[in-house]
Amino acid sequence: MRRSAVLCCVLFAVSALGQIEFTYYPDELDRLRQRAEQGDAASQLKLAQALSEGKGVQRDESAAAFWMRKAADRGDPVAQTLLGCMYAQGRGVEHDDDQAFKWFLRAAAFGDAVAQYNLGIMFLTGSGTHPDPKAALDWFNRAARQKYAPAFAGLGQLYLHGRGIERDDKIAFKMYLKAAEKGVLSAQENIAWMLSNGRGVERNVPEALKWNLKAAAAGSRTAENNIGYIYEHGGPGLTPNYDESVRWYRKAADHGLAAAEYNLSILYRDGRGVPQDLQESFRLSKLAAQHGFPSPLPSPDDSSVQTASAKGTP
Q: Read off the pLDDT band of 54 (50, 70, 90).
A: confident
Higher-confidence residue of 84 and 19: namely: 84
pLDDT given for residue 6 in this prediction: 36
Domain assignment present for residue 23? The answer is yes
Looking at 104, 129, 145, which one is the last position of a domain?
A: 104
Looking at 104, 136, 162, which one is the last position of a domain?
A: 104
Whether residue 15 is predicted with pLDDT greater than 60 in this model: the reply is no
Measure CA 226 to chain center. 16
Percent of the chain surpassing pLDDT 70? 86
* C-beta of residue 150 within 8 angstroms of C-beta of residue 179: yes
Whether residue 190 is predicted with pLDDT greater than 60 in this model: the reply is yes
* C-beta of residue 48 within 8 angstroms of C-beta of residue 79: yes
- C-alpha distances (whole Å) from 111 to each of 32, 71, 74, 103, 302 are 27, 17, 16, 13, 61
pLDDT given for residue 29 in this prediction: 86
Domain assignment present for residue 184? The answer is no
Query: Mean pLDDT throughout 80-96?
Result: 95
Q: Read off the pLDDT band of 296 (50, 70, 90).
A: low
CA distance 107 to 16: 10
* C-beta of residue 224 within 8 angstroms of C-beta of residue 260: yes
Cβ neighbours around 32 below 10 Å, total: 24
Whether residue 267 is predicted with pLDDT greater than 70 in this model: the reply is yes
Residue 82 C-beta-side C-alpha neighbours within 13 Å: 33
CA distance 178 to 65: 34
Domain assignment present for residue 265? The answer is yes
pLDDT given for residue 298 in this prediction: 62
Whether residue 310 is predicted with pLDDT greater than 90 in this model: the reply is no
Domain assignment present for residue 292? The answer is yes
Domain assignment present for residue 90? The answer is yes
CA distance 102 to 66: 17
pTM as predicted: 0.85
Q: Read off the pLDDT band of 3 (50, 70, 90).
A: very low
Domain assignment present for residue 117? The answer is no
* C-beta of residue 202 within 8 angstroms of C-beta of residue 175: no
Domain assignment present for residue 314? The answer is yes
Query: Mean pLDDT throughout 201-220?
Result: 97
CA-closest candidate to residue 92, choices 100, 83, 101, 80: 83
* C-beta of residue 45 within 8 angstroms of C-beta of residue 79: yes
Counted domains in the chain: 2
Q: Read off the pLDDT band of 306 (50, 70, 90).
A: very low
pLDDT tens-digit map of 22-43: 446 678 888 999 999 999 999 9
Q: Read off the pLDDT band of 19 (50, 70, 90).
A: very low
Where helices occur in the chain by DSSP H, the ranges are 26-37, 41-53, 61-73, 77-89, 97-109, 113-125, 133-145, 149-161, 169-181, 185-197, 205-217, 221-233, 242-254, 258-270, 278-290
pLDDT given for residue 14 in this prediction: 36
Task: Please report, for the domain that includes residue 60, its CATH number.
Answer: 1.25.40.10
Whether residue 219 is predicted with pLDDT greater than 50 in this model: the reply is yes
pLDDT given for residue 42 in this prediction: 94
Burial 63-94 (b: 16+ CB within 10 A, else e): bbbbbbbbbbeeebbbbbbbbbbbbbbebbbe
Mean confidence (pLDDT) of the chain: 88
CA-closest candidate to residue 159, choices 144, 147, 146, 148: 144
Domain assignment present for residue 121? The answer is no
Q: Which domain holds residue 290?
A: 204-314
pLDDT tens-digit map of 132-168: 999 999 999 999 999 999 999 999 999 999 999 999 9
Looking at 104, 135, 166, which one is the last position of a domain?
A: 104
Q: Read off the pLDDT band of 301 (50, 70, 90).
A: low
For 43-47, 192-196, 270-274, 297-301, which range has the lowest pLDDT when averaged over its residues?
297-301
List of residues 6+ apart from 58 with CB closer than 8 A: none
